[in-house]
Amino acid sequence: MKKLHTLSFALTFSLLLGCAAPETSPKKIDGAKVTASADAVSGPTLEAPATSTRFFDTVNSPAILIFTETRDWRHEEGIVGGSLAIMKAAKEMGYGYFSTEHSAIFNAKELEKFEIVVFNNMTGDALTKPQEEAFEAWLAEGKGAVLIHGSGDSSHQDWGFYHNEMLGATFVSHPADPQFQDARVEVLNRAHPVMAGIGQDFIAHEEWYTFAAPPSDDFIMLAGLDESTYSPVNNVWGDVSDLRMGPEPEDHPVIWARCLGENQSRVVYTAMGHRHETYDAREATLILNNALNWTARKTDPESQGCQK
Ligand SMILES: [Zn+2]
């Protein structure tokens, strides 16, 4: 649970929403006069409405919420590239979208607009306890979530539900020299809707995460790494570290899914997405699009992808 106020969200709103100019007209929201100008930067607190912008009202529902707050490592390129890829996918889906770095959006009233939340490289303790509870209640209604790359690092352990039930694995480290490597990704569940259109395997260039252990059997493994095709024994910040998880792709999963609760809320994690170049590759973009469609229940109406 975070305690500090976020003071820099307004600028990021403008950048991520692609606004040509900052909104300047005052607008009444919940009785408070706020603007999206510099005044707003020093005004709102975590408890203030996150959507103090007229753009929010124009977003068609159903919609995708793209959440990119970083209180730990910031993946500048992955945030921008991933958000753009999600916006393109949303248009193809006929969905609206809204991106923000301000966690106050996690309240029952505003979450209602969305079918899925994408945690695009969210890092650190980004949500307050009430915000975490609002998200969990919303997800339990049968909504969906997609977690991208840094959203699966080890900086979210204060939020037990997120770390244990949605992510299910604890990040250890990644190679640093070289940091980005080609590796063979093997599809572990070719019948799953998230892997539709992907062959048995593909080569991807990425910063490859290693986890303490694969997620439990509660999760559905979708793809894993062939460690013989890159260097998992690597220089990590000055120390040579052995980041091997095992010789088989099943030993080193990098994409997985879960269906949670009685409404089988769909969640997908993909470890790919450090840089914007990730989305230059057909496979990563297709997997992202598939994950958005599946978690939004646009595909797989019988929930066969929830079968383990
Ligand atoms: Zn990264």
Q: How far is the CA of 279 from the centre of ligand 1 (A)?
A: 14
Query: Looking at 29-38, 145-154, 207-216, which range is the least confident one?
Result: 29-38
The CATH number given to whatever domain includes residue 199 is 3.40.50.880
Q: Is residue 132 part of a domain?
A: yes
Q: Is residue 168 part of a domain?
A: yes
| Separation between Cα atoms, residue 257 and residue 178, nearest integer Å | 29
Phi, psi (rounded to 5 degrees) for 38: -60, -25
Q: Is the pLDDT of residue 23 over 60?
A: no
Quick one: pLDDT at residue 56?
82
Q: How far is the CA of 104 from the centre of ligand 1 (A)?
A: 25
| Separation between Cα atoms, residue 227 and residue 211, nearest integer Å | 13
Q: Which residues contact 222 (CB under 8 A, 6 or more apart)?
A: 187, 188, 189, 192, 194, 195, 253, 255, 256, 257, 268
Domain around 292: 9-306
Residues 220-258 pLDDT 10s: 999 999 999 999 999 988 889 999 999 999 999 999 999
Q: Is residue 1 part of a domain?
A: no
Tokens 């569940």, residue located? 189
| Separation between Cα atoms, residue 208 and residue 286, nearest integer Å | 19
Q: How far is the CA of 274 from the centre of ligand 1 (A)?
A: 4
Closest C-alpha among 94, 112, 110 to residue 102: 110
Q: How far is the CA of 69 from the centre of ligand 1 (A)?
A: 15
- For the chain, give the mean pLDDT: 87
Q: How far is the CA of 55 from the centre of ligand 1 (A)?
A: 30
Q: Is residue 2 part of a domain?
A: no
Q: How far is the CA of 175 from the centre of ligand 1 (A)?
A: 10
Q: How far is the CA of 186 from the centre of ligand 1 (A)?
A: 20
Structural domains in the chain (count):
1
Q: Which residues contact 20 (CB under 8 A, 6 or more apart)?
A: none
Q: Is residue 4 part of a domain?
A: no
pTM score, whole prediction: 0.85
| Separation between Cα atoms, residue 116 and residue 130, nearest integer Å | 19
Q: Is residue 111 part of a domain?
A: yes
Residues 44-94 pLDDT 10s: 345 555 565 677 888 889 999 999 999 999 999 999 999 999 999 999 999
Q: How far is the CA of 276 from the centre of ligand 1 (A)?
A: 11
Q: How far is the CA of 79 from the centre of ligand 1 (A)?
A: 10
Q: Is residue 275 part of a domain?
A: yes
Tokens of 58: 């124009």
Q: Is residue 3 part of a domain?
A: no
Q: How far is the CA of 122 from the centre of ligand 1 (A)?
A: 11
